[in-house]
Amino acid sequence: MTTPLDTQQALAYYRGQYDEIGSRLLRLQQELIQARRDASRNRAIALIVQSLYESSQATPGASLGDILNSLLAESLRVECVAILRWRPAADHFVLCHGLGLDADFSLPALPACASSQNVQEVPNAARAALRAVGLRNWLWVTVPQDSNHALLLANRQPHPLDPHTDEFTEDDVLIAMTALKIYLGLRTQQRTLRALQAAEANYRTLFDSAHDALLVFDTGGQLLDANQQTVDLLGCPPAELRQQSLNSWLIDFKPVVWKWRWRRALAGRAQRIECPLRTASGRRLWTEIQLKRISAGTRQLLLAVVRDISERRQHEEALHYHAFHDPLTGLPNRAAILERLAQALHHCQQQPNEHFALLFLDLDRFKVINDSLGHNVGDRLLVAIGRRLRACLRQKDTIARIGGDEFVILLARMAQIDKARACAERLLYALARPFNLDDHEIYINASVGIVIADDRYQEPELLLRDADIAMYQAKSGSVHNRCAAFDPSMHERIVQLMHLEHDLRRALPRQEFLLHYQPIVELVSGRLKGFEALLRWRHPTRGMVAPGDFIPIAEETLLILPIGRYVLESACQQVRHWMRHHAQPPVVNVNLSGRQFTATNLAEEISSLAQRQACDPALLNLEITESAILGDITAAQETLQRLHEQGFPLSMDDFGTGYSALSYLHQFPFDTLKIDRSFVQAMDHDASRAQIVAAIIGLAHTLGKTVVAEGVETAEQLATLRTLGCDFGQGYYFSRPVDAAAADALLRDPPWQRIPD
């Protein structure tokens, strides 16, 4: 039987169980409500995330801010949504994307998370700005990762059915904050993608529009990319390019060298290669290839820049050809032969027993051909000469044209001077055959200098110098088609001439010149008619230098012009002196150079000089050789005619030695003929020479001219000349050339007049 106590205990037990069950049910109900809220919140977040992501993928350029605003307005049932960005210049958040708000909406800075429920934490300026636009309930959120952006959710009017639903919950804060994070992330991703796409577009534009062919390889040599220029250059699409390596397109480029270059480029040392390349169509191109390591993130690649340099190479080859070849004959020029000589000398140093010879060939009187037939014929003749000389040589020999009419021949492996001379004679014999150009049969002669390269020579210029010296030695001979071998004494003479020329340039300023006078005597009476003024050079260390040693140098260097003026001026001064001291002053004969005829206004110069010195022109007899007037016969004729008209007597010097002296007698106004000493001195033992002298004297007298015989040294010669009717004589029989003081003594007392007949 149950007692009341047991019943009470049972009731208390069941009452406790009911309370516990009720509490549990209440907790379960609360958890269910929370789960539903979480699920609703998560669904809202998932919907927003999915929609934003799909929008960003479907339309990369779409405005995610406007999409987010629409999603939040729908999910959270709000009227106004705004994404704002902080602008430091304005010290406000300004509107980026807004829904239900004006475009000029802005707010001061707010806390990281604020709402109308805790409005007391919001600065007054912000509350005033929110009230100014009529926002009743609002929620403001930012994210720690980006404090420069904020999200504002707001309503202006309460919900018509449930005014309390306008209040923002923690779930709303979480949804808004998560949405803002997703938006900012997708926005950054979208910007990065756009930048990447722009960079890719720029890269492809630059890659394909590059002037050069660009190829990108991995470190193993696999082609990764090639631009359009590569396709155009090689004539092969990228798919086929990937099937073979770049070096397989190169011509005569060793694979081992290519691998070495490749490895150096991968090591960071850029490589530059110039080599020929064959395209898919078989066309040969000269290319410049630059290999350079590049980085793509953490990946190392190799960039090959291929440039077509065929045109530049052609220009370089043309320039190189013109730099080392004569443009007229196509033969190697001076630079080329010097380079070839340097190589030959180096080979001789390596192989001491293998010497070579050098010939220096110069054409004789080539200027006459140019002046008579024209430079066009002269140029064609040079071309023909080059071909004929080349045909006479071996394949291993080299011929070059180094000047107007100068050729140099390198005879390889020729150590004997006799063989070199035989080769030179073959060349001269080949040139002796006539050349037929434009119906002209042209004969040409030449002179050849020979030098054998031995241990004395280390520089090609010295070889060329000595061959040139030997050539001039050959040219100074008495016959054409001649050759001469170099010996050191030739160079010594050249050095002496150089020193002599140096001293000659200083002789006139240092007053080292003086005039000596040799008497000209009337043969019948013995009367001293005049003197020939002869130039002498008293060198401070050499003593008296013979005229034959320095006059040719003066002619060649044009020093004869100032020296000639000195002679004329000194002779005029001496004539003036004798005019003052002698009732019958002697005539002074002065020799004129051919250079004076071509380089000066001779007639005016002599006339002006005579006037300044108060010299009677009749007492200044001007002597001219045939060679002096050959340069320009017309100009010489005019000059001599003007001098003669001004009262200067004229004499033809060395008559009989020229080629055509007789033809000049009626062209030029000569008063006197001077018979060359070679005829006078040969009269004693050569009857024909005496006959020639007699013919000259007879011809001169027929033409009304007087005759002076030069080189009279014996009484027998004097007697013969008197018998032949010669007017005057000059020579050692009467007197050697003497200075002015001794000439004065001869005027007062001629010693030959004391010699009995």
Listing DSSP states for 238-290 in one string gives HHHHTTS-GGGGBSS--HHHHHHHHHHHHTT--EEEEEEEE-TT--EEEEEEE
CATH 2.102.10.10 fits 325-486, yes or no: no
**In the chain, ranges of CATH 3.30.450.40 domains:** 43-52+54-192
Q: 422 with 330: CB under 8 angstroms?
A: no
What residues does CATH 3.30.450.20 cover in the chain?
A: 210-314
Task: Give the sign of the dihedral formed by CA 300, CA 202, CA 240, CA 308.
Answer: negative
Per-residue confidence (pLDDT) for residue 480, from 0 to 100? 46
Burial class (CB in 10 A: 0-12, 13-18, 19+), 23: exposed
* Whole-number pLDDT of residue 497: 74
Largest CA distance in the chain: 214
Asked if residues 490 and 469 have their Cβ atoms less than 8 Å apart, the reply is yes
The per-residue pLDDT for 332 is: 94
Those residues of the chain that have pLDDT short of 50 are: 478-480, 660
Domain covering 499-749: architecture: Alpha-Beta Barrel (3.20)
Question: What pLDDT, on the 0 to 100 scale, is given for residue 62?
Answer: 60
CATH number of this structure's domain 210-314: 3.30.450.20
**Which pLDDT value is given to residue 664?**
66
Q: Which two tokens stand for residue 204?
A: 């492809």
- Count CA within 13 A, CB hemisphere, residue 408: 29
Question: Residue 587's closest CA among 535, 521, 642, 537?
Answer: 521
Helix (H) or strand (E) holding 10: helix 4-58
* pLDDT tens digits, one per residue of 547-573: 888 888 888 888 889 999 999 999 999
- pLDDT at position 423 is 93
Domain with CATH 3.20.20.450 in the chain: 499-749
* Token couple for 407: 């050729």
Q: What is the DSSP letter of 481?
A: S
- The predicted structure's pLDDT at residue 737: 95
Closest C-alpha to 101, from 123, 127, 76, 73: 73
Q: Return residue ranges of the chain for CATH 3.30.70.270.
A: 325-486
Q: What's 332's DSSP letter?
A: B
Q: What is the reported pLDDT for 251? A: 85
User: Could you say which DSSP state residue 546 is in?
Assistant: P
- Length of the chain measured in residues: 757
CATH architecture designation of domain 43-52+54-192: 2-Layer Sandwich (3.30)
Structure tokens at 30: 């609360």
Q: Which residues contact 227 (CB under 8 A, 6 or more apart)?
A: 207, 208, 210, 213, 214, 215
| pLDDT single digits (tens) 634-683 | 888 888 999 999 999 999 988 866 554 566 677 788 999 999 898 898 88
Strands 513-522 and 271-278, by their bridges, are unpaired
Report the percent of the chain where pLDDT is more than 90.
31
pLDDT at 479: 47
What are the helix and strand counts (H, E) for the chain? 25, 27
Single pTM value for the model:
0.52
> What mean pLDDT, rounded, does the chain reach?
85
pLDDT at 743: 94
